[in-house]
Amino acid sequence: MRLLLLCASLVAIGVWAKHVDLPAPYNDFCILNNHTNRYDPGDQFNVPWFTIDMDADPSTRWVEVATRYKEEINELITTLVDFITPLFPNALEFVDGTFAETIEKFPNPYRAELISISEAADVPIGRIVLYNIFYEIFTVCTSIVGQDPSGSMYHARNLDFGLFLGWNPNAHEWEISQHLRKMILNVNWMSQGKVVFKSNHFAGYIGIYNALKPGAFSLTANERFMAEGGLVGILRWLLDEDPNGKWMTMLARETMIVSNTYQEAKDRLMDIPMLSPVYYILGGVNPWEGAIITRSLDKTDQLNELDPHDANGWYLLQTNYDPDTDPLYLDDRQTPGDACMRNLTQKAVGFEGIYNVLSSKTNLNKLTTYTVLMHVATGRFETIIQGCPGDCWPF
């Protein structure tokens, strides 16, 4: 209830602030305006790489990761439970009981992978299940697909997580976001000795928010806020009312495995029933292959693609609001993001340019854990840990 009241208060403040014409929280944005470059390709080496062998037994795939990050996984879940318990006193009982029982609802290989992570990290299985579906309903983020003048496609995103989950007044950081920055890793998904696709993860999390299939397509998933949202999907899932629905990050993972072209991925992501609404952002290998797929639980509500007939059609930028609606005033990452992309210009599209856009307020904020950069044609994939010290939204 306190969480709902806090969310409602933010909406009310935003409406009031806009009505009285107070300055937006992104007055000073676009670091490129100050001729500043934050991109250092060496920063990618702060994030380790692991291999997941899809030909191996699922119960062994994540053991190395779960063992290496055992302490971090336990600390994160403890912090999450400590936050939830005062709001819902029986939450831990419910998680360790009801969520533990739901492990049987997961098809393999997911079931075997989750159980092995639970055992290797020494965390009760119900908490590992919660950890792996919590991101379906509690992330904010910015994704960009941009085409350079030669028609080469670049795809990037900031992943923001942790709003309302334990503000640390001494560090001026969200506690969950702080924990997650220590758990970021990259994965090469292998089969028959070859890399099938690349992705990044928080340790212990098996779904996919960002991935690249070299020479084929790239994919990011942004949460979509709507009345029939992820909480409804979770309830249906718990009650066995939607046995065919897919978690958005697991559908993303399956798409990376079975689809071999941009068009195949787009067709698949538009039609399959889901348990949570989402924006899927796709980039291809050919000119003008870029799309935002706005999904509800049972259909695609909107499709936006790169447009050669639009002066600004060389890029797409998606936050957590429908492309044809205005974002919440106090959470407007779209306006400064668009301004920074147009200030960048198509000539400067590339890792450095887009990274600097995503390092500008408010796309870079207190919740930002990392930026991932992808180039489909070359298979180049970089994850860079992010943070926003000093005066940043939110708080």
For residues 234 and 373, state if they share a domain.
yes
In this structure, what are the phi and psi dihedrals at residue 221, rounded to the nearest 5 degrees? -130, 125
Q: Is 151 helix (H, G, I), strand (E, B) or coil?
A: coil
Note whether residue 358 is domain-resident. Answer: yes
Q: What is the per-residue pLDDT for 344?
A: 95
For residues 287 and 310, state if they share a domain.
yes
Q: Is 251 helix (H, G, I), strand (E, B) or coil?
A: helix
For residues 270 and 347, state if they share a domain.
yes
For residues 43 and 76, state if they share a domain.
no
Q: Which of 105, 134, 163 is the last residue of a domain?
A: 134
If residue 382 lies in a helix (H) or strand (E), which one and from where to where? Answer: strand 380-385
For residues 92 and 155, state if they share a domain.
no
For residues 324 and 190, state if they share a domain.
yes
Contact 319, 141 (CB under 8 A): yes
Note whether residue 393 is domain-resident. Answer: no
Residue whose C-alpha is closest to residue 66's, from 131, 123, 111, 136: 123
Is the pLDDT confidence value at 197 over 90? Answer: yes
- Domain range for 326 is 28-48+140-385
Q: What is the per-residue pLDDT for 19?
A: 40
Contact 223, 142 (CB under 8 A): no
If residue 303 lies in a helix (H) or strand (E), which one and from where to where? Answer: strand 300-305
* Residue type for position 73: I
* pLDDT interval class at 18 (50, 70, 90): very low
Overall average pLDDT of the 267-281 stretch: 94
Q: Could you read off the pLDDT of 34-47 as tens digits, one per residue?
A: 667 999 999 999 99
For residues 104 and 125, state if they share a domain.
yes
Catalytic residues: 141
Residue whose C-alpha is closest to residue 163's, from 328, 334, 46, 355: 328
Q: pTM here?
A: 0.90
